[in-house]
Structure 1
Amino acid sequence: MKILIYLIFVLLTSSQYSFAVIKRHDIPAKNYEVAKPPEYLVDMPHEGHGVLIAPQWIVTVAHTIFYDYTGKTIKVGNENYEIAKVVIHSGYTKPDESLFKGDSKPLMNFFKKRDDIALVKLSSNVDDIMPIKLYEGDNEQGKTITVHGRGATGNGLIGEVAETKKLRTMNIFQNVIEVADGNWLSFKFDSPSNALNLEGMHGSGDSGGSSVIIENNRSYLVGLSSWQSWNGDLSLFKGGLYETNAYQVRISSYFKWINTVIKSN
């Protein structure tokens, strides 16, 4: 049950489960495929993603940090780097086991109140990759985002297929930010009649994936894939269905915290 609920975003997939992201059931899976992901996107140890935002710093969601990663290596571009330090936001906490039983509302409230963000410092600078710029504005609502991930697959009709997470195929999806409130951005996985051509959601294994907008021909990081909502009994949870809402960490809300941590370290 815990792994089921904790799948936290929306999912990447194909009609025969051979491609990642949760996508529209009526669009060819190959349309979501990515031959080469952006260089600033980093695979975290074990699962999930991070994003290079400064020569020596990666931002990710805190729940991708399963233990102290200090001293482990992480691949950025074509090179391996040692992790020098991990800074988890003081507002991040792990849910009690009791929250994963019964009605979903207490767990959803818990997710919404916590600060699911962390920074990873590398032992040396990444000199051959341009970090992505952080979005500072507060007008994210209505903007179209492009999101990368290599998590579980599925589509809006059948939802996420958990076994496909091991495929780790990189795809993209797009969506429109409907709500920008406090520390969160949220969007809905619309059914085809109201959807974008590459409409989709993040799924299990996509945590920390980059949510990007383009302004004046420049890419900006606006969010990080974090979790998706569910109404009702948690035993009935099925991720990645049409009309489900997904939540991303709102980078603009943490802009000052990010810069304070980097400057103080």
Structure 2
Amino acid sequence: MTRLWLLLLLAASSTASAIVIRDDVDDAKYRLPASEFPALADMPGEGHGVLIAPQWVVTAAHAVAGQPGLRQVTINGIPRNVERVVVHSGYRSPPPALAEQAMQTWDWTLFVALLSTSDDIALLKLAEPVTDVAPVALHEGEGEFGQIVQIIGKGATADGVSGYGMDASHRTQLRRAYNKVTSAHDRWFCYVFDAPATALPLEGGSGAGDSGGPILIKTGEAWRLAGLTSWTAPHKGTTRVPFGQYGQISCNVRLGHYRAWIEGVMSARSPATTDQ
């Protein structure tokens, strides 16, 4: 993996982790058996996607851009061949020079500005339909603001006090945490990893390696796919602080914004694509 993508994975929630957790709650309470979310697709090494139709996985564009030549993902413990990778034509990868500047100065303003205007979404067409796992339904509507979301991933993990460094593993055990959406508009919805005094009982957030993983919102009795882990705004005011500490803001691809694009690609009607 290139240095740029290492930086992006760390600074942009890889780009987000395997869930960062409260320091006062036992990690065992966050751990999740794989059988509880079999529709999770594991990219080689790090990153995720979600099965949304028998032959289609949705993921973050940067999760596949960092793995050129992607030919296989694992769903429910079984390798599945990828026939086609479709990246949204509005996706923009930050140039290496900008990432290097941000790392040297810890001024992430322009880096985050570029991320926020990019369409960080891609679809994977599998060679064969998945018959042993039920696809996850997409959340309908635009009422994410103020909602409690469920965050799932196997990326880097740490607690909100210590955080994690650049050498943290980007593939750990499956974990689940919850948070409350603090902003939602256009391409994104975001949440803040709050300290225990104001946190949910199983408060948490994404970390490096969680990119493309599911963000779920409950509709009635069912949890539906509302977003994908995308990027995290680094803390300001200090240099090279650990990632994943309390106060971290994580932003997620808002799938409601892309519903027409998703349906168009799956039905071969959408021109707004770039095959990898």
State the TM-score, normalized to the length of structure 1. Answer: 0.90
Cα shift at 1:68: 4.0
Cα shift at 1:164: 3.9
Residues 21 and 59 of structure 1: is their aligned pair in 2 closer, same or farther, counting only changes over 3 Å?
A: same
Alignment match, 1:38: 37
CA distance, structure 2, for counterparts of residue 23 and residue 112 of structure 1: 25
Alignment match, 2:231: 227
Runs of at least 4 residues off by over 3 Å? 67-70, 161-164, 231-235
Cα shift at 1:76: 1.8
Cα shift at 1:153: 1.4
CA distance, structure 2, for counterparts of residue 234 and residue 258 of structure 1: 40
Within 5 Å, which residues of 2 pair with 1:99-248?
99-100=98-99, 101=101, 102=105, 103-165=107-169, 168-232=172-236, 235-248=239-252
Query: What secondary structure does 1:93 align onto?
Result: coil
CA distance, structure 2, for counterparts of residue 121 and residue 234 of structure 1: 42
Q: Does 1:256 align with 2:260?
A: yes
Cα shift at 1:167: 5.4
* Equivalent in 2, 6, 23 of residue 9 of structure 2: 6
Q: Does 1:26 align with 2:24?
A: yes
Alignment match, 1:15: none
Query: What secondary structure does 2:169 align onto?
Result: helix
Alignment match, 1:64: 63
CA distance, structure 2, for counterparts of residue 233 and residue 123 of structure 1: 48
Cα shift at 1:24: 0.6
CA distance, structure 1, for counterparts of residue 195 and residue 235 of structure 2: 18
CA distance, structure 1, for counterparts of residue 151 and residue 247 of structure 2: 18
CA RMSD between the two structures: 2.0
1:199-224, Cα deviation, whole Å (9 max, x unpaired): 11111111111011121212210010
CA distance, structure 1, for counterparts of residue 193 and residue 223 of structure 2: 23
Which residues of structure 2 form unaligned runs of 5+? 270-276
CA distance, structure 1, for counterparts of residue 263 and residue 37 of structure 2: 23
State the TM-score, normalized to the length of structure 2. Answer: 0.87
Cα shift at 1:44: 1.1
Which residues of structure 1 form unaligned runs of 5+? 13-19
